[in-house]
Amino acid sequence: MVRGLSKNDIQECLSESKRWLQSIYGWELTDNQEWKDFNLDMIHFSKTSRRGHFSKRGVKKGHKDKLIWIGLRDINMWYGYCKKTKFGLNTPFGGVNLHCKKLGLKRTMVHELTHFIQHLQGRQYSELETTENELLFVLSRDKGMIRHLIPYQVRKKQEDSHKLYGYRWRESRDELESELHNEIDNVCVMLRTKYQNDFKTNHKIHKVKSYF
Ligand SMILES: [Zn+2]
């Protein structure tokens, strides 16, 4: 079908993406007949385009029977939305090269299938949810990818600079590192607050019990 991807590979990618999403959304999804019936025939693959798209009314003239459009060009490149995820991290403005067509295709499928789930569950389309799913999925398959991700604030600066001046804001390594350290510090404070409070609660219960 496409250089480096056989029909079998593509089927495998779809099954794996569906399985992963099921592990996130649970029985509400696995029990859904439309979800169960979703198969490769409902995806249009374009060799020349780069875009991915979901439409409940069918993707474009000529492919109205398909719900998802997947452009296979540069499928190994991971361009994510600039969204403030719970995770705190984002892909950089210029994208990340996953160096693997299969991982790139699965990442795209997770994104577009997330829109399908939003449709099945009657929810608003949200790119925050797709972005979070993409990040979690890619990291679950390749933990090393975390070193290519950047804090949301840095990505935001890249976007703003591109809008204003037409080129991305280039962070100095020092700045990037200090942003990362801040993120780590924030998580440390958060955990410390959580566990110290838990400890206090347990401690109190213990004290009261021994008092009697
Ligand atoms: Zn989307």
Q: Is the dihedral of CA 200, 204, 205, 209 positive or negative?
A: positive
Domain boundary assignment for the chain: 7-152
Ligand 1: distance of its center to the CA of 108 in Å?
9
Ligand 1: distance of its center to the CA of 130 in Å?
6
Q: What is the mean pLDDT of the chain?
A: 87
- Cα separation, 139 vs 146, in Å, equals 7
Ligand 1: distance of its center to the CA of 161 in Å?
23
Q: Are 151 and 180 in contact (CB under 8 A)?
A: yes
Ligand 1: distance of its center to the CA of 53 in Å?
7
Q: What is the pLDDT of residues 121-167, one digit of tens each?
A: 999 999 999 999 999 999 999 999 999 999 999 999 989 888 888 76
Between 127-141 and 101-120, two packed helices, what is the crossing angle to 10 degrees?
Answer: 140
Ligand 1: distance of its center to the CA of 173 in Å?
31
Ligand 1: distance of its center to the CA of 164 in Å?
24
Ligand 1: distance of its center to the CA of 144 in Å?
25
Ligand 1: distance of its center to the CA of 109 in Å?
10
Q: What is the pLDDT of residues 90-132, one digit of tens each?
A: 999 989 999 999 999 999 999 999 999 999 999 999 999 999 9
Ligand 1: distance of its center to the CA of 4 in Å?
25
